[in-house]
Structure 1
Amino acid sequence: MTTLFVSDLHLEDARPAVTDLFLRFLREEAMRADALYVLGDLFEAWVGDDDPSDAGAAVAAGLREVADAGVPVAFQHGNRDFLIGHAYAARAGMRLLPDPAVVDLYGTPTLIGHGDQLCTDDAAYQAFRRQTRDPAWQAGFLAQPLEARLAFARQAREASRAHLAEVGAGPGGDVTDVTPATVEATFARYGVVRMIHGHTHRPAVHALDVGGVARTRIVLGDWFDQGSVLRVDGDAVRLSALG
């Protein structure tokens, strides 16, 4: 049996083919897994559990079928869908996990998370993250009418694109990628030898030496042009694309 990890699907009504690909993945593979973990940015935007998107409704039904088949489904918030709440999680049959969290994968404690907390060189984004994760800010936002929240989400997407264009690459390196010192400190803080995350859209398996100990950092890919799935089966780790 296999435990599956995905992140950064960025599903939205404007990209129905990708939603269909994910639903097919749920039906054809996730139904047979030991567990499914979604490490954030399942949706391009989420304005509250009354979000009216067709993608949100279809994905909730698809995940519920997986959960009803006896496969545990767990979700961690990303930087796009941090407002997914308990109501939607209940509809989808998924358990909300803190970010980060340590899970036992076939005897190996593994740190999992969306990954945006590791990008500490991007000070502007980290300030935005602190603001939007504040319970008081979230309560105030969710109290607004649906149309106002949808308008905010559109503006936030445009601001995000502009920010990425401005800071993406420069003389000091790419601040949208993880900060190596933060990765090392995170490994040391949690005392694990393996980390799995998304967010950066740079799929890879990195071998590291932290404090004289061999560690592995696995980065999940996005679902813009294809699907990206990590399969963990005992000691075997396979990161591959779905066509």
Structure 2
Amino acid sequence: MTTLLISDLHLNPAAAEITESFLGWLETRARDCDALYILGDFFDAWIGDDLLDLAGSDPTGHADLAVRVAQALNDLAQRGTAIYLMHGNRDFLLGERFAERAGATLLPDPSLVSFGDQPVLLMHGDSLCTRDDAYMAFRAQARDPNWQARILGMPLGERIQLARQLREQSGEANSNKADDIMDVTPDEVVKVMADYGVTTLIHGHTHRPAVHALDIDGKPAQRIVLGDWQPGHGWEIEVGNTGKPELREIWI
């Protein structure tokens, strides 16, 4: 049994090299895996599943990208790989229609899974950054079903413009924040892991790949952080028969 986990690909038409690397990775590295978990920010932005209807007529290229990626994932699923998608802070509007098109299952954040006989907590990671008050306020708004319904009720053109504005605002805001504010809050990590009774947490979001040793209620524990993908390389976690997650940088 082989399970692979990835996060933070930020797929978008302007980063074609990353898209091609990912599609190649699906056909090689992931081809025979039993399960694939994508832990958020798979797309750099997602404005609604009705984007799929614009394939062939969307001048921005987002629709064609979405359809192509969904088909590639579905091809993998048809070969027997279980695929799981988790929302990130960029693609929180990913819905059941895209998941069905991709042959995938949407996972709540956080999700408790088992690798071997070990319980493991999976998260995107943004909810752990509790020192970033401005972001946490936006996150609460963006996860509100009523707010999401209002956004999805807007014409596609307005949603595309809104997504662009949100990305620009996020970039400007982050440039003025201290690094530790945008990283996870250590006390929140310990609290969440203790609440779920786990000694292993896997997440992305921060773009700071590492394995952190922790102590949870007197037990040795670990927080494994997936890195983001860049042209030519990315990050994955492999879980083999032992059930032990192994973080590695991959060159594609």
Return the offset for 1:30: 1.5
> 2:234 matched to 1:227?
yes
* Counterpart check, 1:183 vs 2:189: yes
SS of match in other structure, 1:84? coil
TM-score (norm 1): 0.96
Q: 2:149 aligns with which of 119, 130, 139?
A: 139
SS of residue paired to 1:167:
coil
Match of 1:206 in 2: 212
CA distance in 2 between partners of 1:211 and 1:42 (Å): 33
1:161 aligns with 2:168: no
1:109 & 1:158 partners in 2: Cα distance? 38
**2:104 & 2:162 partners in 1: Cα distance?**
27
Q: Percent identity?
A: 49
* Structure 1 segment 8-157 matched on structure 2, within 5 A: 8-51=8-51, 52=54, 53=62, 54-157=64-167
How far apart in 2 are the matches of 1:154 and 1:242?
A: 30
The residue aligned with 2:57 is: none
Aligned residues: 239
Q: Which moved more, 1:55-64 or 1:71-80?
A: 55-64
Matched residue of 1:50: which SS?
Answer: helix
Contact 1:193–1:214 (CA<8 Å) still a contact in 2?
yes
Q: Say which SS state the counterpart of residue 45 (structure 2) adopts.
A: coil
Contact 2:117 2:243 in 1 (8 A): no
**Unmatched 5+ residue regions in structure 2?**
55-61
C-alpha separation in 2, matches of 1:182 and 1:192: 14
Give 3-state SS (helix, strand or coil) of 2:81's partner: coil
Match of 2:74, as an amino acid?
R
Q: Shift in Å at residue 211 of structure 1?
A: 1.8
1:235, CA displacement in angstroms?
A: 3.9
Task: Give me the whole-angstrom Cα distance separating, in 2, the residues matched to 1:240 and 1:168.
Answer: 27
Cα 1:6–1:44 change in 2 (3 A) is same
**Per-residue displacement from partner, 1:156-195 (whole Å, max 9, x unpaired)?**
00001011101133xxxx1110000000101110001111
Deviation at 1:241, TM superposition (A): 1.9
CA distance in 1, matches of 2:72, 2:99: 12
Q: TM-score, length-normalised on structure 2?
A: 0.92
Q: Secondary structure at the match of 2:75?
A: helix
Give, in angstroms, the shift of residue 65 of structure 1.
Answer: 0.7
String of CA shifts for 1:41-93, please: whole Å, max 9, x gaps. 00000000122512211110110011111110001100000000000000001
Amino acid corresponding to residue 228 of structure 1 in structure 2? W
Shift of 1:220: 0.2
Q: Could you tell me whether the CA contact under 8 Å between 2:115 and 2:244 is conserved in 1?
A: no
Aligned: 1:239 with 2:229 = no
Contact kept? 2:39, 2:123, Cα under 8 Å: yes
Deviation at 1:239, TM superposition (A): 1.4
How far off its partner does 1:2 sit?
A: 1.5
Q: How many angstroms does 1:242 deviate by?
A: 2.2
Q: Superposition RMSD on alpha carbons, in Å?
A: 1.0
List alignment gaps of at least 5 residues for structure 1.
none
